[in-house]
Amino acid sequence: MNEFVDPLLVAVLLTNFFVLGTSRLRAAITGTALQGSILGVLALFVHHEIDFRILLVAGGAILLKALVIPGMLLRAMRDAAIRREIDPVIGFIPSLMLGALGTGLAVVFANTLPLASSHVGSLLVPAALATVITGFILLTTRRKAIMQVGGYLVLENGIFIMGLTLLKAVPFLVELGVLLDLFVGVFVMGIIIEHISRNFSSLDTSRLSSLKE
Amino acid sequence: MNATRILDLLVHLGVVLFLPPLLLGVINKTKAFFGGRRGPPLVQLYRDIWRLLRKDTVVSTTTTWVFRAGPVVSLATVLVAALLLPLGGAESPLAFTGNFVLFAYLLGLGRFFTILAALDTGSPFEGMGAAREATFSALAEPALFLGLVVLARASGSLELGGMLGGAEGTWAKAGASLVLVIVSLVVVMLVENSRIPFDDPNTHLELTMIHEVMVLDHSGPMFGMILYGAAIKLLVLGSLVVNLVVPVTGESLLLSWPLFIVGILALAVVVGVVESSMARLRLVQVPSLLVGACLLSGFGVVMLVR
Amino acid sequence: MNEWLVVAGIILAALSGVPGLVLSRRGTAGERLATGLLGLGAALASTGAIRTFGGVPGPGLSAPWPVPGALFAVRLDPIAAIFVLQVFVGSFLASLYGLAYWPQAEHPFNGRKLRLFFGLLAAGMGTVTIAANAMFFLLGWEVMAIAAFLSLTTVDERREVREVGYVYLVATHVGTLSLFAMFTLIESITGSFAFGGVDTVAHPVLASAVFALAVLGFGLKAGIMPLHVWLPGAHARAPTHVSAVMSGVLLKMGVYGLVRVGAMLVEPPVWQGAVVLGLGAVSAVLGVAFAIGQHDLKRLLAYHSVENVGIIFMGLGVALIGKSVGRPELVGLGLAGALLHTWNHGIFKALLFFGAGSVIHATGTQEIDHLGGLGRRMPLTSVLFLVGATAICGLPPLNGFVSELFVYLGLGRSLAGVNGTWWVLTAFAIPTLALVGALASACFAKAFGAVFLGTGRSEHAAHAHEARWPMIVPMVVLAALCVVIGVAPALFAPALDGAVVAWSGRAAHVSLAELAPLSLVSVGAALLLGVIGLGALGLRRRLRRVATTGTWDCGYAAPTARMQYTSSSFAQNLTRLFSFVLWPRTHAPTVRGSFPASTSFASEVPDAVLDRLMVPALRTVERMMVWLRWIQAGNVHLYLTYIVAAIVLLLLWRP
Amino acid sequence: MALALVLTPLAFAALGALVPSQRWRPWLVPVCGATHLALVAFALREPTVTGVGGYLALDHLGRLILGFISVLYFLSSIYAPGYLALRTERENRVFTAGIMAVLGVMSLVTLSQHLGLIWVAMEANTLATAPLIYFNKNARSIEATWKYLLIGSVGIALALLGTFFLAYGAVATGADSSLFFSDLVKAAPHISKPWLHAAFVLLFVGYGTKMGLAPMHTWKPDAYGEAPGLVGVLLAGGLTSCAFLAMLRFVQICTAAGEGAFAREIMVAFGLFSMAVAAVFMARQRDYKRMLAYSSVEHKGILVLGVGHGGAGVFGAMLHLVNNGLTKGVLFLSAGNIHRAFQSKLSDNVSGAIRRVPVSGALFLAGFFAITGSPPFGPFVSELTILRAAMNGQQYLVGALFLVALVVVFFGMGATVLAVVQGEPPKSAPETSFKDRLVTVASPLAFMALVLLLGLYIPPSLSTLLHNAAAFVSITP
């Protein structure tokens, strides 16, 4: 734990709000990419000593979360020729307010959980939860498939922050899990997005509602 | 089985077989009296039956054996039913627990076959009569049984002799209920015997008849049997009322039988009076009266709750 | 030994339809073999059952069944034996009837299937009667229910058959699930799935729930009002010999179940008997009232099943009341009445359905108002049908009278020497039963009159022919049984006595011969038959020469067959009287002008509970469910919101 | 040994991807199933099976579910060649490889002994099944796959968060435990309660999503409706059982921590809710494959309800897992056949299945009776056992609601099934060349035989497996 952690977490929270508040897809994807790179840096500072494992995690996170996946999303965006999230389920201002509310609730909820001595007073757990909540808000309110993937990325980022608390205590499976999840989940989603845009000539998921009762 | 019992039995059979036509004679005489006419002789029905039994018969080509079974079964059932009744204060020839059920159901069997015989002709009029008979008797049946329930509860017996014969004791115990029951039984008797105010045996318009229209196609001996059976039915149902009103016990043969006969003849006079003083009800009102009879007996039951 | 005989009978019945599956589709070997096997099984099982009445009941059989809670336990006491007899005799006679009614040659595609399920139906019912373990009972119960469903929907290409099949299936499943609940509750009281005594004093609420579930589960099968909804349609649409078994035997499995549960209840409260009695009375009256309104012959018979099950329940109610208040004579008369009426109804109802089947087979219609005058073309059938009709109306000297007499006596006995006011219920039950009898007479006068008497109303009736012997023989047997039970009820007293002893447990037993005037009933019946015989002889002598002419027509010159009183007109007075429960539907034209054009009038009495109550209610529920479809509207955002909601809810559940 | 159970199917999958012949490739599937079944049969005889340093091992719960999945897989694999021979217009390389890989990852779930590993295995399951749902490659199947992936991934993400919570509770604040299940169960009483509760909620919702409990079931009707019947069997019988197993691991930890009542309460509530939701959607359900999906939701509800009752209910749930899976085998495969024979999965266009495809039609009907709990079929025994657990535990209201839900389900399901099976094929139905053949009916017939057998006779070996598993989950020695 050191003095850089909390400012970085605040930056994460700010990117959350940025992604929530922007209507341009490119900006939102860039925001998630930025968030991913912050998390990579964060991984380096969470623990005092930096070993090979932590470098691997940080490098992997930056590579995947900040470069590869946003890159794929941007490409899909270009292919489908869409730029903006128009007409989300709820507007941008309400999204932001929901995000603020969620962040507040995350802090409250985190306070009810007993923390390890090293994490007491740190923003780690609240920020993790707030980011997860932000991810959910994006997932449930954005109509474009690309933005939903983006929301999923944010959700995963939150979980990643939570995982950082365990980085030291738990063997490597956890981080591998995070990476695997991100990598494969988005990879497959990317493929599917391509098929969707080919078949429906749109990435608007509200059109994906022919299967219903 | 002693001599008195045998004698009782013989008198019972005699009354059942020979008295009934006289009752109709009495009724008709009474009606004639009130109408200011001389009317037919008291024994007119005996003559009619005798003549009919010797006549030839015409039957419809539509009919089957059911048509012929009708009169036979209806006569047989009232005869057997008459054997279940205590008459003249004596124990009934066929006394057993629950014989009241057999009694009522025998009448039901007779009615069932009369209706079938009517339907066998395929005539719309007879069908109409049969439908009415079926409807009204269905409503009369609960009235009869409610009355019997009152008697059973009051007398503590399930045998007709006990239910009716124990009337002395029951009058004291359940007099009010018994009055209701008697009224209701009179109604049942009138409807079952097709008397005014339910049916007019002397009407001449098929559309308004009930019982008479059912037997339009019967002739000769079959019609004779029907008339005879109807007369016995009057006796049988009338004796229910008489037994209740005139509670005679079988102490003395010489006293009780005449008392019974006087009672039943008096009932015939009452029926005659009723027929002279009332008009026939409209058909649609008949059910209401029957339901009323049920209610009366039902009250009788409720009054026994204590 | 006796148990083995019955088990062998059940196995033979279950297998009876199997050989036919591999035999030729066109040949007659399969169907004859099926009936033969069923006959052999029936002979074995009946022997076993009859031997039970005489001797001491055996200890029963049991074989392990490696499934939790289950045991292949068999017990054959006189109660079971009474039903075993009915199951096998009824099924065999129906199978025999089916040889001519549903021959393989005329039904190449569904004949084999039907016989397979028919055998399973018999086997299932046999299992129900002898099972002494809840799981085994439920096994038999469901095999029976499903086999009945599959037999009933033999002609599933017809829409109305499918509809009644669905209603039946749903009803029977609701019944089965109530039995699940009932048996598990019993287990939670007694600790086992064996049919042990349920202590109603120590567990008043649970025992009441057991009772209520038994009434629901078994009442649905028995077709008690208002649980009868499946019954009229199913009986009307099934192949007639299946209808006969359903009405004659299958319903009785519901009765059996309630009788069995009644035996298990230790010191039941009086209200339970009163409820059974009350349900029975309502069922009896409404059953017959609805029957009067019907103009489909089989539907009419079906409503009479509701009526007769009502009478059986009345008897059972009396027995339960007797058990509660410790009056063995009520137990004896009520139960004997219920059980004998169970037999009797099985006999005369099967007879009537067979008669109806002969008519349908001969004319191709079951619409009463299209028939008429069949007595001349089908003399045997008409006589046999009349015997059944007389018996079902409870008229002497036939069997229906005897069992109703027992119920009357049981009700009557309760009038005297009791404390409390519950006797008022029995007091009013007596005239109710009388009303039912009178209405039944009216109804069968209508049915028999319109079908067999008068003249034919349509082409259907004109070309009727008498049934073949495999159809006549079962009817003759059943008619003979009607007479034998009616004239000599004492012959059957030992069986009933045995059942009463087995049922009442600790209540001191009084034999039926002491409670009911069995021999005097015989005397009365003999007397009646004698007098009728004498009268008939006398009339026959007087009627050697008769002139024939047309029916008296009041001077109208050209009467036609269509002017006859139809069954609907016959019933009209009564349906109008009962219109407050029947809600008849009429389609009457308004006649205008001096010379109105030709028009038509129709009336029908739909089932009040099913068509007026349940179907609309279920439609409403269904509409509400369909409205809830927005939950799954295809919108993935909504779906994700549900997940969030679930988490929030659970986190708040217990913070 | 343990590793072989996982790797063999994966090797087959790789082989399947390499075989060039479109025609012969599907025959690998039954071979793979048979090989796996033989391996499992061998493994179940061994007293202990472990591998990879204890990360893989067979415990009592694993034994039951692995054995069940292997049987289920083998029986349905017989169907694969016959089915794929009918779908020659589709490239089947990915499908064949995927369907064999699924067996490997399902085995991995049953063998996982580590908190993290089981999560990885579940995730792998999601990924391996996605191409199977996508098999038809039309707009509808894309939509179904998209929803399956998105909702499934969210579920799996939640499970991961829950896993972290549990690990945090176990490692950072409470007991100092490894993340092996056996250690977690031992250390459970010392795990920080708030973390445990939150973790259980997240894991329950996460794995409940994979299992298809309402209200997280929304992917199911779409996925089951669009995927081939064979995939439906594997999802409804195999994959959801794996999710259930994962959930049970955490129920076990909760129970060991003395928080069993908390977990059980949640399970009863969600069990009943799932049954109710399924019942609502089965009313007037015109699509008979979606109907089966809702039936699956209902029966997953029954499973958690059974476990929620504890005691005999856990045994009932274990038995129901087997019975439901096998019965779903009958239903999905016969429904698939009917679908092929009529070219429609809407009951408006399908009737008289018993006339056009007699065996499949009869099996569909029999499967319906079985799944609704009619004796003498297997589900009857297990559903009654669960009901007994409720009644004997004096949970009368729960028992009553359970039965009411079953009634409503029967109403809805019965109408649809009978409409499909009975009557005559509609005039408008296109004539198809599809007929019942041995290759297409052998598998559902075998399933049906097992379902019937389990209603009449539970073999002692299976009984032991069930009892051990139930005792293992309820932590009674």
pLDDT tens across D299-339, in order? 999 999 999 988 889 999 999 999 999 999 999 999 999 99
Contacts of A among chains (3+ CB pairs under 8 A): C, D
Nearest to D164 among A155, A162, A188 (CB): A162
pLDDT of res. C417: 65
Range(s) of the domain holding residue A59: 5-112+123-200
Give the model's pLDDT for residue A176. 61
The predicted structure's pLDDT at residue D180: 87
The domain boundary, picked from C518, C536, C554, lies at C536
C174 and C220 in contact (C-beta within 8 Å)?
Answer: yes
Query: How many domains is chain C partitioned into structurally?
Result: 2
Q: Are C396 and B145 in contact (CB < 8 Å)?
A: no
pLDDT at res. C596: 80
User: What pLDDT does A119 receive?
Assistant: 77
Distance CA B252, CA B249 (A): 8
Distance from the Cα of A136 to chain C's closest Cα (Å) equals 8
pLDDT computed for residue A180 by the predictor? 60
In this structure, is residue A208 part of a structural domain? no
| Residue C553 binned pLDDT confidence (cut-offs 50, 70, 90) | confident
Closest CA to D129 of D216, D32, D232: D232
Q: How far apart are CA D246 and CA D250, in angstroms?
A: 7
- CA distances B243 to A125, B24, B197, C31, C315, Å, are 101, 19, 23, 63, 31
What is the pLDDT at residue A1?
53
Dist CA B6 CA B17 (whole Å): 16
Q: Average pLDDT over chain C, rounded to whole? A: 89
How would residue C16 be classed by pLDDT, with cut points 50, 70 and 90?
very high
> Count of alpha carbons within 13 Å of D323, Cβ hemisphere only?
39
Sequence length of chain A is 213
How far is D105 from chain A, CA to nearest CA, in Å? 15
Q: What pLDDT is stored for residue C273 in this prediction?
A: 92
Q: What is the pLDDT of residue C448?
A: 94
C632 in contact with D, Cβ within 8 Å: yes
Kindly tell me if the per-residue pLDDT of A83 is higher than 70.
no
Contact C173 D374 (CB under 8 A): yes
Which value does ipTM take for this structure? 0.91
B289 touches chain C (CB under 8 A): no
> Does A134 touch chain D if contact means CB atoms closer than 8 Å?
no
Residues C527, C645, single domain; the answer is: no
Statement: residue C286 has pLDDT above 60: yes
**Residues of chain A with C-beta less than 8 angstroms from the C-beta of D143:** 208-211
Angle at the Cα of C562 from the Cα atoms of C559 and C568, rounded to 5 degrees: 130
Rounded to an integer, what distance in angstroms lies between the CA atom of residue C582 and that of residue B75?
A: 36
Tell whether A55 is within 8 A of chain C (Cβ).
no
Work out the average pLDDT over D253-260: 89
Q: Output the six-digit token pair for C427.
A: 């007091």
pLDDT band at A189 (very low <50, low <70, confident <90, very high): low
pLDDT at residue C35 in the model: 93
% of chain C residues with pLDDT over 70: 98
Q: Which distant-in-sequence residues (6+ apart) come within 8 Å of C585 by Cβ?
A: C603, C604, C605, C606
What is the per-residue pLDDT for C261?
A: 93
Confidence (pLDDT) at C435 = 94
- pLDDT of amino acid A95: 87
Question: Is 80 exceeded by the pLDDT of residue B61?
Answer: yes
pLDDT for the residue C433: 94
Which of the pair, C510 or C350, is modelled with greater confidence?
C350
Q: Tell me, what's the pLDDT at A191?
A: 66
Residue B250 pLDDT exceeds 60: no
A116 contacts D173? CB cut-off 8 A: yes
Lowest-pLDDT choice from B29-38, B230-239, C488-497, C537-546: C537-546
Q: Specify whether the CB–CB gap between C189 and C198 falls below 8 A.
A: yes
pLDDT for residue C637 is more than 90: no
In the predicted structure, residue C642 carries a pLDDT above the cut 70? yes
- D430 touching C, CB under 8 A? no
Please give the torsion angle defined by the CA atoms of residues D76, D81, D87 and D88, in that order, rounded to the nearest 10 degrees: 160
What is residue D200's predicted lDDT score, i.e. its pLDDT? Answer: 93
Cβ within 8 Å, pair A114-D195 = yes
Reply yes or no on whether the pLDDT at C635 is more than 90: no
Q: Which of B202, B193, B198 is nearest to B35 (CA)?
A: B202
Extract the runs of DSSP E, i.e. beta strands, from C299-355. none
Locate D87 and state its tokens.
């779908």
Collect all residues of chain B within an 8 Å Cβ-Cβ radius of residue C417: 156
D51, β-bridge pairs: D56
Q: Give how far C621 is from chain A: nearest CA, Å.
A: 17
Q: B with C: how many residue pairs have Cβ under 8 Å apart? A: 266
Q: Which of B242-256, C289-303, C397-411, D279-293 has the lowest mean pLDDT?
A: B242-256
pLDDT band at D367 (very low <50, low <70, confident <90, very high): very high
Please return the burial class of C60, using the count of CB atoms within 10 Å of its CB with bins 0-12, 13-18 and 19+: middle
Of the given ranges (A140-154, C320-334, D390-404), which has the lowest mean pLDDT? A140-154
Q: Residue C391: helix, strand or coil by DSSP?
A: helix
Q: What is the pLDDT of residue B162?
A: 82
Residue bearing the bigger pLDDT, D50 or B71: B71
- Please state the separation of Cα C198 from the chain's center in Å: 28
Cis peptide before B197 (omega within 30 of 0): yes
Q: Does A211 touch chain C (CB under 8 A)?
A: yes
Give the domain extent around C626: 609-653
Pairing of strands D50-51, D56-57: antiparallel
Task: State pLDDT tens for residues C61-90.
Answer: 889 888 888 889 999 989 999 999 999 999
Is pLDDT of A181 > 70?
Answer: no
Give the mean model confidence (pLDDT) for residues A45-65.
80
The CA distance from C232 to C253, in Å, is 17
Whether B57 sits inside 8 A of C563 (CB atoms) is no
Give me the pLDDT at residue B167, please: 57
Read off the pLDDT of each residue in C191-203 and give the average, rounded to a whole number: 85
Q: Which of B79, B138, B302 faces C435 most closely, judged by CB atoms? A: B138
Say if residue A173's pLDDT is above 60. no
Distant-in-sequence, close-in-space partners of B9: CB < 8 Å, separation ≥ 6? B93
- At residue C377, the 3 state secondary structure works out as helix
For residue C419, what pLDDT is reported?
64
> Are A208 and C634 an interchain contact pair (Cβ–Cβ within 8 Å)?
yes
Q: Which two tokens stand for residue C31?
A: 């169907």
Confidence at residue D284, expressed as pLDDT on a 0 to 100 scale:
85
Q: Which comes out higher in pLDDT, residue D124 or C11?
A: C11
Assess if residue A56 is contained within a domain. yes
Percent of chain B with pLDDT over 90: 41
D388 Cα to chain A: minimum distance (Å): 34
Residue D380 and residue D253 in contact, taking contact as beta carbons nearer than 8 Å: no
DSSP D83-145: HHHHTTTS--HHHHHHHHHHHHHHHHHHHB-BHHHHHHHHHHHHHHHHHHHGGG-SHHHHHHH
Q: Is C651 on the interface with A (CB under 8 A)?
A: yes
Is C412–B98 a contact, with Cβ atoms under 8 angstroms apart?
Answer: yes
Check residue C244 and give its pLDDT. Answer: 95
Q: Look at B142 and C432 and tell me if their CB atoms are within 8 Å.
A: yes
Regarding whether C644 and C530 lie in a shared domain, the answer is no
How many helices and strands, by DSSP H and E, does chain B display? 12, 1
**Chains in touch with B (≥3 Cβ pairs < 8 A):** C
Whether A99 is in a domain gets the answer yes
The maximal CA–CA distance of chain B, rounded, in angstroms, is 61
Distance from CA of A140 to the nearest CA of C (A): 4
Query: In chain A, what are the helix, strand and coil shares in percent, each to the nearest 5?
Result: 75, 0, 25
What pLDDT band is residue D102 in, cutting at 50, 70 and 90? very high
The verdict on C419 and C503 lying in the same domain is: yes
Residue at A17 is within a domain:
yes
Q: Per CB distance under 8 Å, which residues of D are interface residues toward A?
A: 114, 116-117, 119-120, 123, 127, 130, 134, 138-140, 142-147, 149-150, 153-154, 156-157, 160-161, 163-165, 167-168, 171-173, 179, 192, 194-195, 198, 221-222, 225-226, 281, 290
Distance CA D65, CA D69 (A): 6
User: What was the pLDDT predicted at C12?
Assistant: 94
Q: Is 60 exceeded by the pLDDT of residue B88?
A: yes
- Per-residue pLDDT reduced to its tens digit, C594-619: 888 787 878 888 888 888 888 888 88
A and B touch per CB criterion (3+ pairs under 8 A): no
Is residue D373 within 8 Å of residue D433, measured between CB atoms? Answer: no
- AA identity, residue C95: S
Work out whether the CA dihedral C249, C250, C255, C261 comes out positive or negative: positive
Is C439 part of a structural domain of the chain? yes
Question: Can you say whether the dihedral through the CA atoms of C545, C550, C551, C552 is positive or negative?
Answer: negative
* β-strands C602-604, C585-587 pairing: antiparallel
Q: How many domains does chain A have?
A: 1
* Span C8-18, average pLDDT: 93
CA dist C114 and B296 (Å) reads 55
What are C616-631's pLDDT values in tens digits? Answer: 888 888 888 888 888 8
State the Cα–Cα distance between residues D460 and B126, nearest whole angstrom: 75
Whether A134 is covered by a domain: the verdict is yes
Instruction: Indicate whether A60 pLDDT > 60.
Output: yes
The reply to whether residue B109 touches residue C409, judged by beta carbons under 8 angstroms, is: no
pLDDT above 60 (res C655): no
Quick one: average pLDDT of D19-26? 85
Q: Does C371 touch chain B (CB under 8 A)?
A: no
- Whole-angstrom Cα distance, residue B77 to residue A126? 98
Summary mean pLDDT of chain A: 80
Residue B198 has pLDDT above 60, yes or no: yes
Residue range C376-391: mean pLDDT, rounded: 93
Q: How far is B207 from chain C (nearest CA, A)?
A: 10
A213 is a domain residue? no
Checking if the pLDDT of C98 tops 80, the result is: yes
Tell me the chain C residues in contact with residue A206 when contact means C-beta distances shorter than 8 Å.
635
- Flag whether pLDDT at C92 surpasses 90: yes
Contact residues for D226 (Cβ-Cβ < 8 A; gap 6+)? A211, D133, D136, D140, D141, D143, D144, D145
Nearest by CB to residue C632, choosing from A136, A208, A213, is A213
Residue pair C442/C334 in contact (Cβ under 8 Å)? The answer is no
Tokens 């994966």 belong to residue? D10
Chain mean pLDDT for chain D: 90
Tokens coding C115: 């016989």
> Cβ–Cβ of C632/D376 closer than 8 Å?
no
Residue-level pLDDT at B237? 92
Interface contacts (A, D; CB < 8 Å): 123
Residue whose tokens read 């391509």: A194
Work out the burial of residue B288: count CB atoms within 10 Å of its CB; fewer than 13 is exposed, 13-18 middle, 19 or more buried: exposed
Task: Say if CB A160 and CB D161 are below 8 A apart.
Answer: no
Handedness of CA C195, C196, C199, C202 (dihedral sign): negative
Inform me whether the pLDDT recorded for C526 exceeds 90.
yes
Instruction: Give the model's confidence band at A57: pLDDT under 50 very low, under 70 low, under 90 confident, else very high.
Output: confident
Contact list, D120 vs chain A (CB under 8 Å) = 173, 176-177, 180
pLDDT of residue B249: 63
With a CB cutoff of 8 Å and minimum separation 6, the contacts of D210 are D122, D125, D126, D152, D155, D156, D159, D239, D240, D242, D243, D246
In angstroms, the CA D212 to CA D231 distance is 15
Whole-angstrom Cα distance, residue C90 to residue C87? 5
Q: Chain A: nearest CA to C172, how far in angstroms?
A: 29
Residue in the block written with tokens 């115990």: B173
In B105-164, the residues whose Cβ lies within 8 Å of chain C are 105-106, 108-109, 111-112, 115-116, 119-128, 130-132, 134-135, 137-146, 148-149, 152-153, 156, 158
Report yes or no: C59 and C472 within 8 Å, Cβ to Cβ.
no
Which pair of tokens denotes residue D73? 């897989």
Separation in Å, CA of C622 to nearest CA in chain D: 7
pLDDT of residue D77: 93
User: Which residues in B156-189 are b (16+ Cβ under 10 Å) and which e?
Assistant: bbbbbbbbbbbbeebbeebeebbebbbbbbbbbb
Nearest to A46 by CA among A113, A108, A125: A125
Residue C474 lies in a domain: yes
Residues 146-165 of A with CB under 8 A from C: 148
Q: What is the chain B residue with the closest CA to C375?
A: B64
Residue range C177-194: mean pLDDT, rounded: 92
Q: Which of C508-522, C553-567, C570-584, D163-177 has the lowest mean pLDDT?
A: C553-567
The C-alpha atoms of residue C72 and residue C61 are separated, in whole angstroms, by 8
pLDDT > 70? residue D47? yes
Residue C102: inside a domain, yes or no?
A: no
pLDDT higher than threshold 80 for residue A86: no
Q: Which pair of structure tokens corresponds to residue C20?
A: 């036919």
Query: pLDDT at position A72, please?
Result: 80
Residues C87/C249, Cβ–Cβ less than 8 Å: yes
